[in-house]
Every structure is written in structure tokens, then in C-alpha cells.
């Protein structure tokens, strides 16, 4: 299993419309729901917002990695969105987020391979080159090529 | 940057992302700063890259970057920095620098005790080990590996003597080639490992794996007097000496600075050979000789005591039998008794037969009436000791004596002395050079009722004294073995 098993081309959005954190979370959750990744979008969003309550998922360096673990998730998935102007995410370093990875994890799932993938993604995001590549990617192909390297 | 070994634990509420980001940042920052770092992640996958007890022991400090409770009991006595998982992601360099600049406090044991109920056995052991003094810890490591050999050997010997043994002039004998003879031989084989294993694992505790070979070889030499011209080996006390000697010698050789080229063969060739040679030489030429002299001096001294009062003689014999349980002092007394049988003087072996079984029976009784003073391993060893005592295998008490010599040896000596005096005064005799209730069963004893009275008094006294001296083990440590 690799990251591209969890994120398909349809789940990548290089021009997010929302201008606040909550708008962006809803927008991305809509994409997950539209692609049949969720059983119950609202219940999933509740889990995502609850996680944000516990502490911002804006980890700095222009990255936010919101996530929800919920029975409302049908298949383990990752949605990726870019907001070139940046959006306030109440980040640890106070900087706006430009890259958003929204993770959807089922409450119970066969095996934990998807957790391993998300772990690899988390570790990879620390890599400056990887982040720069994503920021500069001009189209979905380039994004997918970069995500392909996470396995 | 000074060289440091740091460990970290990361954890976050969902255990999906931050845990691993913090782990990655800490590792990267450490690498850049030239610091050795291992990070344990406690995420939704479970614990990965778990820190081992050895790593914790060797670490200069520990960073916990977590927004979830992380059990700290295993870090008692280590410098510990506790921060939020976000700090691990945001400012790993600062966290690492805190250790080199020396403003990280040591995590205390008082704090650890508060959460002790939740600790795993492993963590309890760790916490307890860090409080123990190292000499005691090494000793316990050796004892814990020795116990199964004593139990297996003792029980097999006990079974074969109990079911297949018959009295002869040379002691309890089992018909050669019979089934019980095979059982006896297997039991004897297990017993022969007892002292080498004790010494070997004391040395391993001190010097890690390179200590095993010199420790076991040293233990073997200690147990076999023929190496240094003595008719008796140095017993388990000699084994303890050999173990510590081997461990510290191997540890010292490990610290030598050697050329790069030789380094790969250090642990498998150089250290074992050199340390074994040093330990063997010390035993053969320095320690062994005095042991041989003590042995022969004790023999002639005991001969000269024949004219002394019977009570004094019984006191001496009782004390000698239980002092080192199978070591040189015990052997002198036993051989004296056996020699007296040859010349038709059965009244010497009677008190010895009583004294022989009091240490294992007394310790067995002690674990039974004072359960809370002994670990589970010790209570099991106590049952085995009891069985060994019934057939006169004094060695059954060795696990207790080796683990806590200053409390156990005086207790069993007093018990054995009382028992042998009672036996002497009431005319208990023994016609075979062997001890324990089994010699009464095979009708080698005169005045059987007083034989048992003497044993009973001795074991009750032993058990009462040793339990008076020993402290109760706190309940949360009860699940722990001897180690």
C-alpha cells in the first residue's frame, strides 16, 4: 500500500475556494463525500472539528493536517488542497496554512496499513524539499507524482 | 556539539499525524546536531520503535513530547524533559540543547510511586532496579538464572533417591543402570551447572554478553577444587566471587582503546579469552590455594575437636553444614561424619543428618508462613527446597542464601545448630553418610522420634529468624521474580 491508494486525483484540489479554516474543511469534506469515501459527512466533520478543538492541526511551515477518526468514514482516505494565498489555521508558528491534508480514518478497519501510510506522510511533511515541491506543483499530475513517492 | 545519547517518546490524541511528525523532527534535529537519538512513537498503530531498558539505562536524557499521558515510571533516575507534542515539532533543537546546557531535572522516584498501580511488570522491574545497588542487582541476576537449575536438579535427585535409593556404607545409593539411576544422573547434570550459571550471569549483568564465558568458566573452576589442588570446590560462595571477578575484568577489557582493525574480534575472541585467562589464573594461583589450605586446616581442626564436649562438637558441625551448603566448609563436616561411620562412631553423623536438611526445609517453611516476604519465584523455589530437604539435599536453600546471604546464612546456621545439638544430646545416630528424613525412612537412624523432633525444632527456628530479619515486599512488586 502507498499514499496514492488513499488519495486519488479527484481528491486533489489546487485552488481551494474557502477563505476560513472551517469553510475549507467543509469544502474538502464535500469532495470526500462526493467520491463515496464517507458514510456520513456531518458526523465525520464533527470528529474533525473536535480534533481541532483539542489543539490546532496547523503544525507550521505552511502545513495543516486536520484529521477525523470516525465510524462515519467508509474507506481510509486523504484529500489534498492548496490555498496559495494561505488561510489562518491558528498554527503553532502563527503562519497561515498553504497546504492542507485532510485525513479520514475509519473507527475500525482491517489491518493498520493505512495508518502506516499516514505515518509516512506525516514524516515526509517535515522534509523541506517535499513541501516546496507541493507548493510549486502547477497541476494535479505533478502533485500525484510527488505523493507517489510516499510509501 | 558534545556527544550525547538521547531518547524521546512522542504521542498525540489521535495518534495519526503529530506523533510521527514530532518523531521525525526530533530525529532530524538530533542528526544535524550530532546527537544520538531514538524516538518511540505511541500512535494509533500502537507503540513502535520501543525503547529498551538497556537504552534507557545508557541514555543521557529523555524527551517526552506528548499531548497524552505517557507512563514515566521507567524513566526514574533519568533527566527528563516533558513538553507538548507541538514543541517536538516546533523547537526540537531547543529541547536537545536543554540537555547539553544542563538545566533538565532528574525525574524522581517519589513521583513514580504515585502511579505505580498502573505500571507493567517490566517497568516495575526497571524502577526497582534503578533503586537497587548494583552489586545486589548483579547478584540477583545470577540467582534468577540459577534457580531453575537448582530446582530441576534437586527434584530429580530427590525423586531418584526417594524411590530408587537404598542406604550403603558410602551413602544413599541408586542401583547403577536402573531407571532411577538415569534420573539421578540427569539431576546431577543440572546441579553441575548451578555454580557456573550463577557466576556466568552475575558476570553478564556486569559486562553484558562478553562476561558470559569468563563467568561460566570461572564458576566451573570455583566449583571444581581439582583446578587448584583442593579436594573440595569453593561452592556457591566461590561462584559468586568468580562471577564478580569475571564481570569486572571483562568490563575493564571492554574499555580498552584498540586499533580499528581489531575491534570486530574484540567481543567474540579477545575479551572472552583474555578475561577467562585472567579469572582462571586468579583462581588457580591466588584464591584457590587459600581455599585448599582452609579445607585441610578445617579437617585437622575438626579431628582435634573429637575430644571436646559433644555439645560443642554438635554446634560446630551444625554451623559448618549450613554455612556454605555444599561448599568446602560443609564438605569438611560431612566427610568428618562419614569418616566416623567407617570407624563405627554413628553418633557424629546423626546430628549432621539433622543439620543437612534444616536449611532447605526451614526456608521452605519460611516461604510458606511468610508469603509476603518472598517473591513468587522464591515461593516456588521454597516448595522445591522443601522437597529437596526431605531427601537431604542442602543445596535447596542456596537460591535464598545467594540472594540475601547476610540474613539467610545466619538464620539457617542457627537452625541447624539447634537441631544438631538436640540430636546429639538425645543420642540420634545415622549409619549412612546422608541426611534428611529419608535416612530415617530407610531405617539408618536410631531414636527416630528425637531425630524428627530435632529437625522440626531446627526448621521452625530457621523460619522464624529469617522471617524476622526479612522485610515484606511491597504489594506492587509482588508480581516480580527474583531478578
Residue B54 counted as domain residue: yes
CA of B25 vs chain A CAs: smallest distance (Å): 7
Task: Please report where in the chains the cell 566449583 appears, as a residue.
Answer: B223
Looking at residue A33, its pLDDT comes to 93
> Residues B224-233: what's their mean pLDDT?
81
B43 CB neighbours in chain A (<8 A) are 115, 119
A92 CB neighbours in chain B (<8 A) are 86, 89-90
Q: How is residue B447 annotated by DSSP? A: S
Looking at residue B112, its pLDDT comes to 44
Answer for the pair B270, B226: CB distance below 8 angstroms, yes or no.
no
Residue B301 counted as domain residue: no
pLDDT, tens digit, 9 for 90 and up, residues B150-195: 888 888 888 888 888 887 777 778 888 889 999 999 999 998 999 9
Residue B481: pLDDT band with limits 50, 70, 90 = very low
Least confident of A113-127, B27-41, B389-403: A113-127
Domain of B65, CATH number, reads 3.40.50.2300
Query: Is the predicted pLDDT of residue B451 greater than 90, yes or no?
Result: yes
Q: B-contacting residues of A 62-101, CB under 8 Å? A: 65, 67, 69, 92-93
The beta strand positions in B388-475, using DSSP E, are: 429-430, 445-446
Residue B276 counted as domain residue: no
> Residues B440-449: what's their mean pLDDT?
87
Last residue of a domain, one of B131, B151, B173: B131
> Residues A28-38: what's their mean pLDDT?
93
Residue B199 counted as domain residue: no
Mutate to test the interface with A, among B13, B15, B21 (most CBs of A within 10 A): B21
Residue A30: exposed, middle, or buried by beta-carbon count in 10 A (0-12, 13-18, 19+)?
A: middle
Tally of CB atoms within 10 A around B371: 16
Q: A-contacting residues of B 6-35, CB under 8 Å? A: 13-14, 16-21, 23-25, 28
Quote the mean pLDDT of chain A.
88
Mutate to test the interface with B, among A123, A129, A130 (most CBs of B within 10 A): A123
Q: How many contacts does A have with B, using Cβ atoms within 8 A?
A: 69
Which residue of chain A has the CA closest to B48?
A116
Residue B147: pLDDT band with limits 50, 70, 90 = confident
Last residue of a domain, one of B131, B147, B178: B131
pLDDT, tens digit, 9 for 90 and up, residues B374-402: 988 889 889 999 989 998 889 899 999 98
Q: Does domain A3-148 have CATH number 3.40.930.10?
A: yes
- Cβ separation A103–B16 shorter than 8 A: yes
| Domain count of the fold of chain B | 2
Residue B185 counted as domain residue: no
A118 CB neighbours in chain B (<8 A) are 16-17
Which residue of chain A has the CA closest to B87?
A92
- Rounded percentage of chain A residues whose pLDDT exceeds 70: 98
> Residues B307-328: what's their mean pLDDT?
89
ipTM reported for the complex, 2 dp = 0.82
Identity of the highest mean pLDDT range in A137-141, B62-66, B105-109, B355-359:
B355-359
Looking at residue B248, its pLDDT comes to 94
Last residue of a domain, one of B97, B131, B165: B131
CA of B177 vs chain A CAs: smallest distance (Å): 58
From the list B143, B287, B279, the residue with the least C-alpha distance to B218 is B279
Residue B272 counted as domain residue: no
pLDDT, tens digit, 9 for 90 and up, residues A41-53: 999 999 999 888 8
Mutate to test the interface with A, among B10, B12, B15, B17 (most CBs of A within 10 A): B17
For chain B, how far is it from start to end, CA to CA, in angstroms? 38
Domain extents in chain A? 3-148
CA of B106 vs chain A CAs: smallest distance (Å): 28
For chain A, how far is it from start to end, CA to CA, in angstroms? 7
Query: Is the predicted pLDDT of residue A4 greater than 80, yes or no?
Result: yes
* CA quadruple B156, B158, B163, B166: dihedral sign: positive
CA of B21 vs chain A CAs: smallest distance (Å): 5
Buried b (16+ CB within 10 A) or exposed e, B235-257: bbbbbbbbbbbbbbbbbebbeee
Residue B64: pLDDT band with limits 50, 70, 90 = very high
Task: Please report where in the chains the cell 575484568 appears, as a residue.
Answer: B249
Residues spanned by the domain of B87:
5-131
Looking at residue B243, its pLDDT comes to 95
Residue B127: pLDDT band with limits 50, 70, 90 = low
Point out the residue among B20, B28, B86 whose CB comes nearest to the CB of A119: B20
Quote the mean pLDDT of chain B.
85
Least confident of A25-39, A75-89, B288-302: B288-302
- Cβ separation A125–B45 shorter than 8 A: no
Point out the residue among A51, A115, A126 whose CB comes nearest to the CB of B21: A126
Looking at residue B129, its pLDDT comes to 53
A105 CB neighbours in chain B (<8 A) are 14, 16, 44
In angstroms, the CA B473 to CA B480 distance is: 10
Residue B118 counted as domain residue: yes
In angstroms, the CA B390 to CA A121 distance is: 67
Point out the residue among B25, B45, B46 whose CB comes nearest to the CB of A126: B25
Residue B300 counted as domain residue: no
Point out the residue among A54, A93, A123 whose CB comes nearest to the CB of B13: A54
Residues 6+ apart with CB under 8 A from B238: B195, B222, B223, B287, B291, B327
Looking at residue B172, its pLDDT comes to 78
CA of B117 vs chain A CAs: smallest distance (Å): 28
Query: Is the predicted pLDDT of residue B358 greater than 90, yes or no?
Result: yes
**A67 annotated active-site:** yes
> How many residues are recorded in chain B?
483
Identity of the highest mean pLDDT range in B124-128, B324-328, B332-336:
B332-336
Query: Is the predicted pLDDT of residue A9 greater than 70, yes or no?
Result: yes
> Residues B32-61: what's their mean pLDDT?
87
Q: Catalytic residue among B7, B8, B9, B12, which?
A: B12
Amino acid at each position: 500500500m502507498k499514499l496514492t491508494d488513499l488519495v486519488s486525483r479527484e481528491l486533489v484540489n489546487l485552488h481551494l475556494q474557502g477563505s476560513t479554516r472551517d469553510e475549507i474543511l467543509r469544502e474538502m469534506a464535500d469532495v470526500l463525500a462526493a467520491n463515496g469515501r464517507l458514510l456520513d459527512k456531518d458526523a465525520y466533520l464533527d470528529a474533525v472539528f473536535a480534533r481541532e478543538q483539542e489543539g490546532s492541526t496547523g503544525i507550521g511551515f505552511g502545513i495543516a493536517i486536520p484529521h477525523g477518526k470516525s465510524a462515519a468514514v467508509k474507506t481510509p482516505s486523504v484529500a489534498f488542497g492548496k490555498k496559495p494565498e494561505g488561510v489562518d489555521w491558528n498554527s503553532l508558528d502563527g503562519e497561515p496554512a498553504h497546504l492542507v491534508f485532510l485525513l479520514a480514518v475509519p473507527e475500525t478497519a482491517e489491518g493498520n496499513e493505512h495508518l502506516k501510510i499516514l505515518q509516512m506522510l506525516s514524516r515526509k511533511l517535515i522534509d523541506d524539499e517535499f513541501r516546496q515541491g507541493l507548493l510549486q506543483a502547477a497541476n494535479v499530475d505533478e502533485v500525484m507524482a510527488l505523493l507517489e513517492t510516499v510509501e | 556539539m558534545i556527544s550525547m545519547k538521547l531518547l524521546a517518546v512522542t504521542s498525540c490524541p489521535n495518534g495519526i499525524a503529530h506523533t510521527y511528525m514530532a518523531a521525525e523532527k526530533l530525529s532530524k534535529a538530533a542528526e544535524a546536531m550530532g546527537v544520538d537519538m531514538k524516538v518511540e512513537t505511541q500512535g494509533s498503530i500502537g507503540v513502535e520503535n520501543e525503547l529498551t531498558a538497556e537504552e534507557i539505562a545508557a541514555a543521557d536524557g529523555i524527551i517526552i513530547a506528548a499531548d497524552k499521558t505517557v507512563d514515566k515510571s521507567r524513566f526514574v533516575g533519568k533527566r527528563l524533559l516533558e513538553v507538548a507534542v507541538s514543541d517536538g515539532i516546533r523547537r526540537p533543537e531547543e529541547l536537545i540543547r536543554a540537555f547539553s546546557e544542563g538545566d533538565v531535572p532528574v525525574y524522581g522516584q517519589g513521583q513514580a510511586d504515585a502511579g505505580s498501580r498502573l505500571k507493567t511488570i517490566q517497568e516495575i522491574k526497571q524502577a526497582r532496579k534503578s533503586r537497587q545497588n548494583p552489586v545486589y542487582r548483579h547478584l540477583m541476576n545470577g540467582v534468577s538464572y540459577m534457580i531453575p537449575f537448582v530446582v530441576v536438579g534437586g527434584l530429580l535427585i530427590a525423586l531418584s533417591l526417594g524411590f530408587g535409593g537404598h542406604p550403603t556404607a558410602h551413602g544413599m545409593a541408586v542401583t547403577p543402570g536402573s531407571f532411577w539411576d538415569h534420573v539421578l544422573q540427569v539431576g546431577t547434570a543440572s546441579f553441575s551447572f548451578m555454580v557456573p550459571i550463577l557466576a556466568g550471569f552475575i558476570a553478564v549483568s556486569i559486562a553484558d554478553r562478553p562476561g558470559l564465558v569468563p563467568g561460566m568458566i570461572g564458576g566451573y573452576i570455583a566449583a571444581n577444587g581439582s583446578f587448584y589442588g583442593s579436594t573440595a570446590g569453593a561452592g556457591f560462595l566461590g561462584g559468586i566471587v568468580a562471577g564478580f571477578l569475571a564481570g569486572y575484568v571483562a568490563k575493564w577489557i571492554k574499555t580498552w582503546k584498540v586499533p580499528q582493525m581489531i575491534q570486530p574480534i574484540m567481543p567474540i575472541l579477545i575479551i572472552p579469552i583474555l578475561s577467562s585467562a585472567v579469572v582462571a589464573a586468579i583462581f588457580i594461583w591466588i584464591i584457590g590455594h587459600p581455599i585448599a589450605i582452609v579445607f585441610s586446616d578445617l579437617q585437622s581442626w575438626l579431628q582435634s575437636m573429637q575430644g571436646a564436649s559433644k555439645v560443642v562438637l554438635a554446634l560446630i558441625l551444625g554451623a559448618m553444614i549450613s554455612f556454605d551448603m555444599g561448599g568446602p566448609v560443609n564438605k569438611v563436616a560431612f566427610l568428618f561424619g562419614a569418616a566416623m561411620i567407617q570407624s563405627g562412631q554413628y553418633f557424629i553423623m546423626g546430628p549432621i543428618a539433622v543439620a543437612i536438611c534444616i536449611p532447605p526445609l526451614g526456608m521452605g517453611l519460611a516461604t510458606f508462613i511468610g508469603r509476603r516476604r518472598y517473591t513468587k519465584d522464591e515461593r516456588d523455589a521454597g516448595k522445591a527446597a522443601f522437597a529437596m530437604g526431605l531427601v537431604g539435599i542442602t543445596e535447596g536453600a542456596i537460591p535464598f542464601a545467594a540472594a540475601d546471604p547476610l540474613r539467610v546464612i545466619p538464620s539457617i546456621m542457627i537452625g541447624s545448630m539447634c537441631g544438631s545439638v538436640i540430636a546429639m544430646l538425645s543420642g540420634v545416630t545415622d549409619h549412612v553418610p546422608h541426611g534428611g528424613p529419608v535416612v530415617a525412612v530407610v531405617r539408618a537412624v536410631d531414636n527416630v522420634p528425637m531425630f524428627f523432633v530435632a529437625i522440626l525444632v531446627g526448621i521452625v527456628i530457621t523460619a522464624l529468624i529469617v522471617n524476622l530479619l526479612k522485610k515484606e515486599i511491597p504489594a506492587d512488586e509482588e508480581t516480580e521474580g527474583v531478578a
